[in-house]
Amino acid sequence: MRRALLAAACALAASGAGAVERLGVMAVADAPAGPDAELTELAHQLRAACRDRVGGVEEVATMRRRLLGQGSDATLSELDRAYGGALAVYQNGEFDSSVRTLRAIVDDLEAVPEGEEAFFQWKRAMLRLAHASLSLGQEREMERAFLALARTDPALQPDPDQYSPGFRRRFEEVKARVRALPRRRLHVASEGRSGTVYVNGRAMGTTPVTLTLPAGSYRVGGGAGALRVPSFTVDLESEDRSVVLDFALAEALRVNAGPGLALAPEARGYGIVRAGAWLGVDRLLTVSRAQEGQAQFLVGSIFDVRRGALLREGSVRLVAGGLPSVQVGALASFLLTGQSSREVQNLTQQGPREIRPPLPPVAEVRPVPAASPPAVVAAPASAPTPAVATAAAVPPPAAALPAVRPPAARATGAAPAPASPAVLPPTAAPVATAQAPATPAALLAPTSAPMPAPPATQPPAPTRAPSSAPSSAPPAVQKPAPTLAAATALAPVRSILAPAPRAALPAPDPAGRALGEGSRPGAAPRWMRPAAIGSGALALGLAAVAVQQGLAASGRYADARDMLGADGQLLPGSDPGRYRDLRSGGDSARRNAFVSAGVAAAFAATAGVLGWLSWDGDGDRDRHADASGGLSVRF
């Protein structure tokens, strides 16, 4: 009975020890500088305080390796020497020792950052591991290595000088089974910048890219110059997948500062959770610096990485840029256990808060002219004096222009006006006010085409109040002329109908087709005709390339057929490698011919369309122009 109780106690202790949560500590500051030396030192002090209270705190060197995608301490040169030792042990007949060494080499190669040299060593070690496993009769180990190689590099051929024909035949059988597997699509995108996609260590293209792979599990990673996204496993066994490589987070890493992160405030929570996932920790504790007036505070936060939530957040006041050990311990106890202290101010009174990804930036939306009916003010064509502006009915105060920040706030200077028309003060130029819709002020832009000012020799005419307004009615706008001009410029839609000289007529529309009288098309843009000529020249050049590639493909296929006998087998003395090269070159040339022909057809069609559109526009431009000026309508 005592032995059973002792065994149960040992099992519980072992399970409790295995269930210790892994905790990471990082420093976080605003981009692009990131944490400075003082904040990094404070992060080290808080890490030491956490290590005194709980277990499972990650070391700095381990965190740096994981953030850089280096799951192993070994280098490629060391692994190359280890492979030579495993090969020597195998030749001495110690197959078991060779298999163990090769398996460790493969694990280390899958944990180092991807690259051409790492992929070459991985293929070499996997082939030798499969060969040694076959020598020991370990069919399952051999099949696992063959499947990984066939999925990653279907064109791989073992060296005949190093591997027996039976071994190569077994590998070809596995490759045939892999070719018969269902195909899955893997779409890889990226954040921050484009980068190289690595699948099982092999470079497969630049993001965004969609790959078609045999069903199975794959290691997917990324690289962009010195930046690395740690590899992760993607299961394509039953369905297609779409993954994202976060190069923005890789660029925000500051491995020599704590390690630390340089993140903008709006993306800080999401970036911290993603960094915790890269580290493989359960909880991530971060420290940052905040300032209120002349006082500086150290803000500590602890995140649940698996749930993606902020658990607790507290702050302590800094003294001369540093922090006494008592306050460091109090902050660590509060973050780890929630223990309150008078030195720590609790910033999470509402409990844990879920972290959501930052919203993508919203592009500025320009007001659409047709969305708001314009108020048209007609000015006499014979008198260049300032026109009498008629104010349209202004909406009640509830519909006034809102301010930029809170939607319910009113824009400064936008006072409510009476519903009846009122007299506007005279200005130096005709002013037209329209009914302003309730549109955020950040989306409004002043009109780019101001009305021409009247001649200075004419005295301004006195304004007249409409008959419907009483003579004692106060003016609708109680602001001086500059304020009125600024408020008028905020209107998102402006329609002005006034005499304009020929030089002030609106420019052609962006499509390049100004409509004159009778809605007949005007002159075509000047770029259409050169573009048509250039497209035609490109079409001819690509057609020539297609013909040349087609002839090259025919020649290579003919040379390959000459190497075959009547029974379809290679003639004695023929080189199989030469035959494969001819067939491959013919396939490539034929593919290039088809692509060139298709692109040539597209350019030819483009040249025809542009040539037809730019055929004749000069006569219409002169025919429909107004030499003496006219009415111009601008929105």
Per-residue pLDDT tens digits for 81-92 = 999 999 998 888
CA–CA distance, 29 with 37 (Å, rounded to integer): 11
Q: pLDDT digits over 297-352, tens only? A: 999 999 999 888 999 999 999 888 788 888 899 999 999 988 888 888 888 866 56
CA distances from 281 to 59, 155, 244, 294, 445 (A): 12, 39, 20, 36, 49
Sign for the pseudo-dihedral over CA of 389, 393, 497, 440: positive
> Read out DSSP for 313-329?
EEEEE-BTTB--HHHHH
CA–CA distance, 609 with 202 (Å, rounded to integer): 44
For 287, list phi and psi in degrees, rounded to 5: -125, 140
Q: pLDDT digits over 420-472, tens only? A: 333 344 433 333 333 333 433 333 333 334 444 444 444 444 444 443 333 34
Strand partners, 224: 227
**Can you give the pLDDT at residue 528?**
80
**Can you give the pLDDT at residue 184?**
94
**Can you give the pLDDT at residue 563?**
80
**Can you give the pLDDT at residue 473?**
42
Q: pLDDT digits over 513-535, tens only? A: 444 444 444 556 777 888 889 98
**Can you give the pLDDT at residue 341?**
84
> Read out DSSP for 146-193?
HHHHHHH-TT----TTTS-HHHHHHHHHHHHHHHTSPEEEEEEEEESS
**Mean pLDDT, rounded, of the chain:** 74
CA–CA distance, 272 with 263 (Å, rounded to integer): 9
The predicted model scores a pTM of 0.53
